[in-house]
Structure 1
Amino acid sequence: MPRWSPDAALRLEAAAMDLFERQGFAATTIPQIAEAAGLTTRTFFRHFADKRDVLFLRDREFPDAVGDVMTSVPLEDSGPAAVRAGLAAACRGLEAWRRPIARRRTIVHSEPALHERELLQRHHLARAIDASLRARGIDVPQTRTLAAVAVMCFDLAMQKWLDGPDDLLLEECVASVWSEVRDCLDG
């Protein structure tokens, strides 16, 4: 097996996803992933702490991306407007990732042991939104509420997008869910 491969992480990720889909997350071992990728177990551990990391590697950057976009929204915009703008911009960056996101979501939802890690990702997104809103000078109770609502809306929109037709845009789903939540609260 090669000692060094510039695409090792991507090969390991692809092999892991295929194995998780075929035989389940719990039944898949790290040596199986490494072998399927044509790499060593040692190489696996250079890139990932454990097999859960393969599923959640890309999620680390998303909260920061949303927070960064929110800081670029004009300060005169309200907290809700900043949150919607941040989520909308982040959604545009995810459109090309529909298939991998759907695959990952199916695996995560089929394995109870992974639910905690997914909840942690939502918590990180809420913290990034909260911090961005605080930096705008918005009161803490409102920042926490907006962050929680934003994460809930994003999660509902993600499911709507993945369940919908191929031409449905994630950004449209976020706007739709945001309106539905607002109507429920006002009604």
Structure 2
Amino acid sequence: MGRWEPNAQARLRQAAMDLYAERGFDQTTVAEIAEKAGLTERTFFRHFGDKREVLFGGSERLQEMLVASVTAADPGTDPAVTVAAAFEHAAEDYFPPVGYSRQRQQVIDANPGLQERELAKLDGLAAAMAAALRERETPDLPAALIAETGVAAFKVAFVRWVTDPADAPLLGHVRSAFAALGDVWSFAPGRI
């Protein structure tokens, strides 16, 4: 093998996903991933800290993108609209094709430890977005509620996307989830 292998990260990611689907996450080793990709373990560790990062690497970029979107919104924009727009932007510019995302989600759904990590990442997104809203002078309680609700709406949209047999775009699912959220909360005060 040469010192430099084109598309090494993509090859490692796909090899890992194939092995996770075939054998299960816990039964797959880094050595097997590297071998299937035609690369070395050393190359694997140049691209990923561990085999979980194949699934979760890049989540910092998603968080940065969402926070930047919230921060850049016009000052007079409603905080809930700001959060919805941030998720719409991410739906257009961040996520890989639905086939890969579907395969990734199946691996996560089959492993409780990975599910826990996914929830922790979502919790981190909500905290970061709430902080960005507070910096825009949204009071603490509304900032926290809007960020958490936005993450919940996105989570529902994402699940609908990866289970959609028609493979409709993620953006449409995000818009539908946020629109439905508006309908859910349109009850009259005192009805709870």
Same fold (TM over 0.5): yes
Paired AA for residue 132 in structure 1: A
* TM-superposition CA deviations, 1:35-77 (whole Å, max 9, x none): 1111111221222121101111132211111111222221111
**Corresponding position: 1:98 with 2:98:** yes
Q: Secondary structure at the match of 1:101?
A: helix
Structural mapping, 1:53-92, within 5 Å: 53-92=53-92
Q: Give the Cα–Cα distance (whole angstroms) in 1 for the partners of residues 44 and 167 of structure 2.
A: 36
Comparing 38-47 with 15-24, greater Cα deviation is found at 38-47
Comparing 163-172 with 79-88, greater Cα deviation is found at 163-172
Q: Which runs of 5+ in 2 are unaligned?
A: 188-192
Q: Give the Cα–Cα distance (whole angstroms) in 2 for the partners of residues 45 and 167 of structure 1.
A: 33
Structure 1 runs of 4+ with >3 Å offset: none
* Residue matched to 1:158: 158
TM-score normalised according to structure 2 size: 0.89
* Residue matched to 2:183: 183
Between the two proteins, the alignment pairs up a number of residues equal to: 187
Q: Secondary structure at the match of 1:86?
A: helix
* TM-superposition CA deviations, 1:101-127 (whole Å, max 9, x none): 111111111111211210121022112
Paired AA for residue 114 in structure 1: L
* Residue matched to 1:8: 8
Paired AA for residue 136 in structure 2: R
TM-score normalised according to structure 1 size: 0.91
Give the superposition deviation at 1:168. Answer: 2.4
Q: Which runs of 5+ in 1 are unaligned?
A: none
Cα RMSD (Å) of the superposition? 1.8
Q: Give the Cα–Cα distance (whole angstroms) in 2 for the partners of residues 70 and 133 of structure 1.
A: 7
Paired AA for residue 86 in structure 2: G
Higher helix share: 1
Give the superposition deviation at 1:20. Answer: 0.9
Query: 1:41 and 1:167, CA in 2 relative to 1: closer, same or farther beyond 3 A?
Result: closer
Q: Give the Cα–Cα distance (whole angstroms) in 1 for the partners of residues 45 and 130 of structure 2.
A: 33
Query: 1:34 and 1:65, CA in 2 relative to 1: closer, same or farther beyond 3 A?
Result: same
